[in-house]
Structure 1
């Protein structure tokens, strides 16, 4: 009896809230996307930017320059499976602090 009384007294929730969501505008496809940057981190902590070994200071400078561009390139970070995590974390932290947003880690399928 209490269950039936509870069911009868609960108001039916049939309210609908109308939301005016903004319409997505497709991005302009006139400009080609910028080339992606391959950043490898070797087993000894060496940073390799598109095949060129660079220091961490040079990497920071290049992150800073890429962050200033209108259309940032995609950064594909490929750490060696033997590298210490502190080198990978340093690269990710530098990129984030300097404003780089398109970052992906590739090669994590290595075992």
Structure 2
């Protein structure tokens, strides 16, 4: 046979060449994609954002936690307080320069 696909000759050497055509085709496709998408990546919207002169540090307000347990005992920031002392403590906290935030 002229082509001899099933015949094995001892004189035939293995194919030592790499077919470059598929590699070149893939590289050309990638190059075309890159050329098309490169101008799109540089398109941007310009924004003129306002400038801030200085940031103002905000003081977090002090907070007071007033809690009542199951037995009815009052706690002012986890410290026990009597019921008759509570109005005086609330007035003192409200009269301060920076009144605290009351959390129940």
TM-score (norm 1): 0.39
TM-score (norm 2): 0.41
| Higher relative contact order (Cα pairs below 8 Å, separated by 6+ residues) | 1
